[in-house]
Amino acid sequence: MSNIRIRAQSRDGVTTVRCLITHEMETGLRKDEATGGRVPADFIQEVHATWNDQKVLNTYWSGGISTDPYISFKFNGGAAGDTIHFTWVDNQGVTETTTATIS
Amino acid sequence: MTETQLDTKRRLLLQGSLGVGLAALLPTSVFANWPQDAFKAEDKDGALQALLGNNAVEMSDAVDLKVPDIAENGAQVPVTVETELAGVESITILATTNQNPLIATFNIPEVALPFIATRIKMAETGDVMAVVKTANGLFANTKTVQVTVGGCGT
């Protein structure tokens, strides 16, 4: 099951992409009430997306991005039926990739 | 094999092993290009200096920053940054009162528009700052968000 939901829409030559990722986004600063220690950091560090082998998103994150991150971005070009590749990598080395079709 | 070819191979091998060595030193960061120093900085100037090599920002209304005036839940504060400035290289979002103010930085590829919308965590009431980098320097705008319930310790 993919933990990334993407909607990409093209209008007047501009594609708007909206993504919702399922991820804890633990900062590493939060206290664990049970143990008194810190909850280990576990957050997405890098997200990128490509369209026709061109970069359309290239971003670095901290744990300051909300749990279950939402990100929206826009680019020039893109037509209905085109594919967008979307990938994230977290600080634990976990990664996930998905593709979406522009509508 | 000539002396030069051998030399090149030797250099490649050296570079290769150096790369592995560095990666082993950074177990918390998968990508060496994740700007760790900037994200670990404890004030916004330090973060900008580490990230962009400069913290001389010019306040500008050309940077359109949208945040709510009041956020009941500091764990989910919507932020939208947009600008009409030309040649935008990156958009950076900071929450100045967070322990580590740098939230995220978005490089804007050539075909992308200078537009970003996301949600951030805010520990307490404070300023959200958006910094837009262009060839002409750093342009910024800030807005204060009243946080009712902090979003970092929960």
CA distance A100 to chain B (A): 17
Residue A66 has what DSSP assignment? P
Name the residue among B104, B113, B118 with its Cβ closest to that of A75.
B113
Which CATH number is A72's domain given?
A: 2.60.40.10
Q: How many CB pairs under 8 A join A and B?
A: 117
Instruction: Give B19's Cβ-side CA count (13 Å radius).
Output: 10
Q: Would you call B115 an interface residue with chain A, using a CB distance cutoff of 8 Å?
A: yes
Distances A18 to A37, A70, B19, B52 between C-alpha atoms, Å? 36, 7, 36, 27
Q: Specify the pLDDT at position B30.
A: 47
Name the band, by pLDDT with cuts 50, 70 and 90, for residue B149.
confident
Nearest chain B residue to A93, by CA: B30
pLDDT > 90? residue A48: yes
Residue from B63, B54, B62, B38 nearest B129 by CA = B63
Residue from B147, B58, B152, B148 nearest B103 by CA = B152
B17 or B38, which is more confident: B38
Which range has the top average pLDDT, A25-29, B53-57, B125-129?
B125-129
pLDDT > 50? residue A1: no
pLDDT > 60? residue B23: no
Prediction ipTM score: 0.94
What is the total count of domains within chain A? 1
pLDDT > 60? residue B41: yes
Give SS3 for B45.
helix
**Contact yes or no for A45 and B30 at CB 8 A:** yes
Q: Would you call B77 an interface residue with chain A, using a CB distance cutoff of 8 Å?
A: yes
Query: Which residues of chain A lie closer than 8 angstroms to B77, CB-CB?
Result: 66
**Contact yes or no for A58 and B109 at CB 8 A:** yes
pLDDT > 60? residue B37: yes
pLDDT tens string B51-85: 999 999 999 999 999 999 999 999 999 999 999 99
Distance CA A43, CA B31 (A): 13
CA distance A2 to chain B (A): 20
Q: Please compute Rg for chain B using Cα positions.
A: 20
Q: Specify the pLDDT at position B5.
A: 58
Name the residue among A14, A56, A65 with its Cβ closest to that of B120.
A65
Q: Which two structure tokens, joined as six digits, stand for B56? A: 């001389």
- A contact set with B (CB within 8 A): 14, 25, 27, 29-31, 41, 45-46, 51, 54-67, 69-77, 89-91, 93
pLDDT > 50? residue A5: yes
Average confidence score pLDDT of chain B = 86
Distance CA A22, CA A38 (A): 22
**Contact yes or no for B30 and A72 at CB 8 A:** no
Name the band, by pLDDT with cuts 50, 70 and 90, for residue B6.
low
- The lowest-confidence range among A13-27, B12-26, B62-76 is B12-26
Q: Which two structure tokens, joined as six digits, stand for B37? A: 């120093």
Q: Which structural domain range is residue A65 located in?
A: 4-101
Q: Specify the pLDDT at position A54.
A: 95
Name the band, by pLDDT with cuts 50, 70 and 90, for residue A32.
confident
Q: Specify the pLDDT at position A33.
A: 85
Question: Average pLDDT, stretch A78-97?
Answer: 95
Name the band, by pLDDT with cuts 50, 70 and 90, for residue A82.
very high
Give SS3 for A12.
coil
